């Protein structure tokens, strides 16, 4: 079934530049297109203010300004600080040679790359779906930077965004840091990404076990805490009860929580084959060189003296 234009509706119409339809429909988001149409319809000789656009469309002034800047960089609008210029998409006659840069791409470079490279256009469109809104300049430039300069494929970048969203950290700082981390860890394919994400999930699960055993408040763990938790839970197979005992010994001895102190206790236990809380009592009951105290003429070993216990297991 074909649709026809209704002549009645066009009795009052506005003109949209052909370059918008030819080069930007795949790239521009819904907010950006709304801002453009509203600006064309309500343009005045003095221009149009972001606040006016925002109030009329029910969006923030910042988002309206970002959309206006997008069209200004595309050459469709004139920025308050720039002269009119042709769209870079139209004036560009040679294919862009992608080179490594120390700075991220500008709005005009993003627009040009989206028009030149369909995969980038798809990347930006799908990224907007993940964010649930039009991309900000910093977000779009980071995604194109990861694609062009760092060699990450569109599918891999979208997987990164989905991971950030599922972790409730869908912000540009986390995306950039994690993207660099993936690159440094040679995550190049979807198989690499799945393997890496499984590793992260395993470490986070281990941290959750340790966090509950220690009675810590919910928070983001440090890199060291993640690594130690993974080793204790997944490599050493330390039980929750033994983790709790190590925590209690640490606090009883030092008066505070110390991951490094607990690390020393658990590594001592692991090297000596301590698997349960009962194993601690058994080994402490028959030391080779017990601590001697006078109590009714008999030698006794104090299992509550953490320092002496550590000396004992260090000497085994």
**34-77, pLDDT tens digit by residue?**
888 888 888 887 888 999 998 999 988 888 887 888 787 777 88
Residue 232: which pLDDT band, with cuts at 50, 70 and 90?
Answer: very high
Q: Does residue 269 contact residue 246 with C-beta atoms inside 8 Å?
A: yes
Q: What's the confidence (pLDDT) of residue 308?
A: 47
- 3-state class (DSSP) for residue 301: coil
The whole-number pLDDT of residue 1 equals 66
pLDDT for res 188: 87
Burial letters 194-211, b for 16+ CB under 10 A, else e: eebbeeeeebeebbebbb
Q: What is the per-residue pLDDT for 140? A: 93
Average pLDDT of span 108-120: 89
Q: Are 20 and 27 in contact (CB under 8 A)?
A: no
The answer on pLDDT for 121 being more than 80 is yes
Range(s) of the chain covered by CATH 1.10.10: 14-88
Residue-wise pLDDT for 124-179, tens only, equals 999 999 999 999 988 999 999 999 888 899 999 999 999 999 988 899 888 998 99
The confidence score (pLDDT) of residue 101 equals 41
pLDDT tens readout for residues 204-230: 999 999 999 999 888 888 888 999 999
38: which 2 tokens? 């509203």
Task: Determine the Cα–Cα distance for residues 316 and 268; give it in Å rounded to an integer.
Answer: 10
Burial 62-78 (b: 16+ CB within 10 A, else e): ebbbbbbbbbbbbbbbe
Taking residues 115-125, report their average pLDDT. Answer: 91
What is the second-level CATH architecture of the domain 14-88?
Orthogonal Bundle (1.10)
295 phi and psi angles, rounded to 5 deg: -150, 100
pLDDT digits 0-9 by tens, 177-194: 899 889 988 898 899 999
Residue 153 has a pLDDT of 92
Question: Given the structure tokens 């839970």, which residue do they identify?
Answer: 233
- Higher pLDDT: 28 or 158? It is 158
């Amino acid at each position: 079934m074909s649709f026809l234009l209704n002549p009645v509706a066009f009795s009052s119409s506005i003109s949209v530049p052909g370059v918008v339809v030819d080069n930007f429909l795949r790239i521009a988001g819904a907010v950006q297109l709304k801002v453009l149409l509203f600006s064309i319809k309500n343009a005045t000789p003095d221009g149009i203010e972001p606040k006016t656009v925002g109030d009329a469309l029910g969006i923030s002034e910042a988002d309206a300004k970002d959309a206006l800047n997008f069209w200004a960089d595309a050459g469709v609008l004139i920025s308050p600080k720039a002269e009119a210029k042709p769209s870079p998409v139209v004036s560009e006659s040679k294919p862009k040679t992608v080179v490594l840069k120390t700075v991220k791409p500008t709005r005009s470079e993003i627009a040009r790359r989206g028009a030149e490279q369909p995969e980038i256009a798809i990347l930006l469109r799908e990224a907007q779906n993940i964010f649930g809104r039009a991309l900000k300049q910093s977000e779009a430039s980071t995604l194109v930077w990861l694609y062009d300069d760092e060699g990450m494929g569109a599918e891999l970048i979208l997987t990164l965004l989905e991971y950030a969203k599922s972790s409730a950290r869908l912000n540009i700082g986390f995306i950039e840091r994690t993207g660099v981390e993936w690159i440094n860890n040679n995550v190049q394919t979807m198989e690499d990404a799945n393997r890496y994400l499984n590793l992260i999930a395993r470490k986070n699960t281990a941290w959750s076990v340790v966090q509950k055993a220690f009675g810590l408040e919910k928070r983001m763990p440090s890199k060291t805490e993640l690594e130690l938790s993974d080793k204790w839970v997944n490599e050493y197979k330390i039980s929750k009860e033994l983790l709790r005992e190590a925590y209690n010994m640490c606090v009883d001895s030092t008066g505070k929580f110390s991951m490094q102190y607990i690390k020393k206790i658990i590594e001592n236990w692991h090297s000596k084959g301590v698997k349960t809380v009962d194993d601690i009592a058994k080994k402490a009951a028959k030391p080779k060189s017990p601590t001697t105290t006078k109590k009714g003429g008999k030698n006794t070993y104090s299992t509550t003296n953490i320092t002496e216990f550590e000396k004992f297991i260090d000497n085994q």
